[in-house]
Amino acid sequence: MVTMNGKTALITGANSGLGKALALALAHEGWRVGLVARNAERGAAAMAEIAAATGNQELHLFVADLVEQTEIHRLAAEVNAQFAQLHLLINNAATAYPTRQLSSDGIECALAVNHLAPFLLTHLLLERLKASAPARIVTVGTRMNTALEFNDLQWERRRYRQQQAYGQSKLGNLHFTFELARRLDGSGVTANCVFPGVFRSNLGGTDGAQGWFWTLVAAVLGWALPTPEQAALRVLFVATHPLVGGISGTYFGNRKPLRAPAQALDVRANRQLWRASEMLTGILPLAPGPLRQLRP
Ligand SMILES: NC(=O)c1ccc[n+]([C@@H]2O[C@H](COP(=O)([O-])OP(=O)(O)OC[C@H]3O[C@@H](n4cnc5c(N)ncnc54)[C@H](OP(=O)(O)O)[C@@H]3O)[C@@H](O)[C@H]2O)c1
């Protein structure tokens, strides 16, 4: 039986890949873990596997499709009701779409799941995180970044390209993290982004059409790639290591800061996406901090 450490974490996309590996590792370390999955069966199967492997009795499944904002609101209400404290939020869920698709909110789906969902969920859990401080927000990013086209965030005027749409929405994770860190300065809640490396993945696969890029990566690199458990070590360092406790607004690679793409280092661009995201999610503005860089 695992010894509980009194800490609570919430992980999105916790039923497979990196998210599941993170949930398993935290459960082993005695965290109370909230697993967010969009499919109840897949979520329950992952939770049962983790419970059997760790003996951790404090695993909680939350079912929500993060492409829908009403689902994110319901998820946050359930988490706030269930968890009196929240010390760690890992925004991990992401996907890619081979064609331009719109959510029921009328938002392009890659932007909705990969950027707006972390943005909205984090806002809705922020009071719980602040009340539990010290607390950490870790968003899983990628190196497959493409500069955001601010005049066409939702691919209305350009031909939709899967990798670029994914890369833009995931660059949103960095814009978001840097601006969030400034706004949370002094709150006891840190915000960092981490690139987990390239690893074996099901990314985009469950949506029924993985697209040629990931199919090719899987076919060519296949089992030569690191496992999700190996990739999880990078994320766990940022999420739990005491050395990172006071660090915020940093983009991490393998236990070290990484240089972010130029557009994400532009504070005004961070703010531009923040304002657009407020409008697209309808959340109330969080007071802006000073216009300064926090990163090395
Ligand atoms: N794999 C890599 O080489 C790599 C490299 C750099 C960064 N990353 C990042 O690592 C993170 C994890 O990816 P992974 O490779 O572990 O992929 P994965 O195995 O496909 O995991 C992604 C998770 O997100 C969930 N998800 C997708 N769309 C969702 C939605 N609409 N609502 C709720 N959950 C949803 C998936 O649920 P389902 O199982 O239901 O689809 C799955 O649990 C992502 O942020 C990705 O960008 C991966």
Nearest CA to ligand 1 atom 3: 198
Nearest CA to ligand 1 atom 19: 17
Find the 286 Cα to ligand 1 centroid distance in Å. 28
Q: What pLDDT digit, counting tens, does each position of 99-110 carry? A: 999 999 999 999
Question: Rounded CA gap, 279 and 154, in Å?
Answer: 13
User: In the chain, which stretches have pLDDT less than 50?
Assistant: 208-209, 291-292, 295-296
Domain that holds residue 149: 8-278
283 part of a folded domain:
no
Model pTM score: 0.94
181 part of a folded domain:
yes
Q: Provide the CATH number for the domain around residue 139.
A: 3.40.50.720
Q: What 3-state class would DSSP assign to 44?
A: helix
292 part of a folded domain:
no
Confidence (pLDDT) at 212: 63
237 part of a folded domain:
yes
Cβ burial of 251 (10 Å; 0-12, 13-18, 19+) is buried
Q: What pLDDT digit, counting tens, does each position of 87-100 carry? A: 999 999 999 999 99
Confidence (pLDDT) at 289: 55
Question: Total domain count for the chain?
Answer: 1
Atom of ligand 1 nearest to the CA of 71: 32
174 part of a folded domain:
yes
Q: What 3-state class would DSSP assign to 109?
A: helix
